[in-house]
Structure 1
Amino acid sequence: MKILVTGATGFIGTALCSHLLKNNHSVHYLVTDATDIKDKKNYKGFLWNPEKNEIDLNSLAEVDAIVNLAGHTINCKWTDENKKQIHNSRINCSNTLFNALQDNEHQVKFIVNASAIGIYQSSETAVYTENSTGFGDDFLATVCKDWEAANLRFEGLGIKTAITRFGLILSKDNGVLHELAKVVSKGLGANLGNGKQWMSWIHFNDVIQMIYQILNQQQNGIFNVVAPNPVRQNEFLKLLASQLNKPLWLPNIPSIFIKIGLGERSALVLSSQHVQSVKLPEIGCKFMFTNLESTLKDLYKSNE
């Protein structure tokens, strides 16, 4: 297959492109900076500017499927301007792809679009599956709902559409685990809030495998991309501290102080979503990592 990837220079996109190439697929990818363009065997970059609804239509040539991962990072201060960028960057990217496919001849039959489990309402008791409709109304949930609505429009063009709601993607070098480990490794780890928040996680390598399998099978619909065994935050931090050989001795940091310090962004550490995937097992996806302790051991094995 020839696959067009957006967000290809991000940490998920980079690994996915590498995996696609290793499995003998051709990759086109879209970037906003000409210095990121490379033209190698089966790997070619093209410019686009989603803010202006501009895209190099050559990027769609002979493309069979699209993986749309593009969007401004949420790992930033949530100023009004950054919140606007987080929201609009996702919608603009999806709209630019939609307009290009609607207005031009192409052979795209399938598209995988990113989303997140942040769409679900924060709860310490609810269990969410792909059939759940208990959506939140905070900033992240609103972004996800608007993003998914923009992406579901591809079905109106006759393009099979998958929405992948990512859980907390665990990587030693990126994301929430990387940030928590920086604190815990200094012996300053502490539960945030009451520590009972559910953390629905997934190993970085499993994310790539799940996207690849959905892509290969061209499976449409909603997919919760999470490992089978979520844990509460206090257990997560306990296992992380143990893996890093550091004590977890500080008292809980009350939610009120976190909200004062982080404002709306406190949702990233205080929200709770117990999420299960029903559909990934149904299509034959097998997780390499289902247990958090063994997952952390794998991620930090170079430290041993």
Structure 2
Amino acid sequence: MKILVTGATGFIGSALCQFLLENKHSVHYLTTSEDKINNTIPNYTGFVWNPSKNQIDLDCLKDVDAIVNLAGHTINCAWTEENKKKILDSRINCSNKLFNALKDNQHQVKSIVNASAIGIYQSSETMVYDESSIDFGTDFLADVCKQWEAANARFETLGIQTAITRFGLILSKDNGVLRELARVVSLGMGANLGNGKQWMSWVHYQEVVQIIYKLLMQQQAGLFNVVAPNAVRQEQFLTLLAAELDKPLWLPNIPEFVIKFGLGKRSALVLSSQHVQPKNLQENNYIFSYPHLSGALKDLYK
């Protein structure tokens, strides 16, 4: 297959592209920077686009069978009004540009896998969510996810099999939240954030790549929660992480008001609670390689 990937130079995008190439697929990727184009790798071809200016090199669609749309400005930044606009606009503009390019031009794309996040669900320490749940949040992240998914659902109107993947907390020792938590725990300064009862619905980064690949190969459509089947509360997460790193977890909880004072609205990234189940993946007979957090951490820090 020939697959077009947006967000290909990001954390998951780069891991996915490497996996696709190893499995003998051809990859086209879109980037806003010509400096990031490296056409010396066989079957790996870059094209320039600028969704905010409605620009795209249409050659990126040539002979492409499927698309993986992961593009979007990082949420791990100060949530100023300017950055919040970048977070939302980058996602909507990318989806809109892809949609219009497919609508207005000849192509052979049969399926698309789009990113979203479990942040769409309402924060709760008691609720359990699956893809049929409609208890959505009203905060900034939930609003971004709702608008993003609405923009991506339109690909269905073009006769393209459309999957929307709601990512949980993606674990990698080199990227994201786990790297930051492990750094603090390694210094012997680990502590629960807030009451520690928040649910953390996590997934190993290699599992994310495998799930996207399966959805591509099977041309699946619908909603998919990309999380392991065994969520844990934050206090259990940190206890297992500290044990894996052979470090004590002895400091008292950091009060919620302190976290909110330091992070502002971005505190939702560490204080929100979503207990999410991957019902549709399990009903589609996906077998998780890392269903339990202890096994995932052992693999990451082996």
State the shift of 1:245 in Å.
Answer: 1.1
Uncovered stretches (5+) of structure 2, i.e. residues with no partner: none
Which residue is equivalent to 2:87? Answer: 86
**Counterpart check, 1:206 vs 2:186:** no
One-letter identity of the residue aligned with 1:37: I
Q: For residues 18-57 of structure 1, what are the structure 2 equivalents within 5 Å?
A: 18-39=18-39, 40-57=41-58
Which residue is equivalent to 1:95? Answer: 96
Q: Deviations over 1:192-241 (max 9, x none)?
A: 00000000000111110000001100110000000010000000001111
Which residue is equivalent to 2:260? Answer: 259
State the shift of 1:283 in Å.
Answer: 1.7
Between the aligned partners of 2:189 and 2:157, the Cα distance in structure 1 is: 51
1:67 is paired with a residue whose SS is: strand
One-letter identity of the residue aligned with 1:83: K
**Counterpart check, 1:179 vs 2:153:** no
CA RMSD of aligned residues (A): 0.7
Between the aligned partners of 1:296 and 1:38, the Cα distance in structure 2 is: 33
- Give the ranges of 4+ consecutive aligned residues of structure 1 lying more than 4 Å apart after TM superposition: none
One-letter identity of the residue aligned with 2:169: L
**Counterpart check, 1:233 vs 2:211:** no
User: How many residues were matched structurally?
Assistant: 301
Between the aligned partners of 1:41 and 1:186, the Cα distance in structure 2 is: 43
State the shift of 1:284 in Å.
Answer: 2.1
State the shift of 1:11 in Å.
Answer: 1.1
2:45 is paired with a residue whose SS is: strand
Between the aligned partners of 1:46 and 1:178, the Cα distance in structure 2 is: 31
Between the aligned partners of 1:256 and 1:126, the Cα distance in structure 2 is: 23
Q: For residues 103-118 of structure 1, what are the structure 2 equivalents within 5 Å?
A: 103-118=104-119
Q: Deviations over 1:259-302 (max 9, x none)?
A: 1111100000000000001111222211110111111111011x
Which residue is equivalent to 1:16? Answer: 16
**Counterpart check, 1:154 vs 2:155:** yes
Between the aligned partners of 1:57 and 1:94, the Cα distance in structure 2 is: 15
1:247 is paired with a residue whose SS is: coil
**Normalized against structure 2, the TM-score is what?**
0.99
Between the aligned partners of 1:95 and 1:291, the Cα distance in structure 2 is: 37
State the shift of 1:182 in Å.
Answer: 1.1
Which residue is equivalent to 2:4? Answer: 4
State the shift of 1:19 in Å.
Answer: 0.7
Q: Deviations over 1:38-80 (max 9, x none)?
A: 2232110000001011100000001010000000001111111
**Counterpart check, 1:197 vs 2:198:** yes
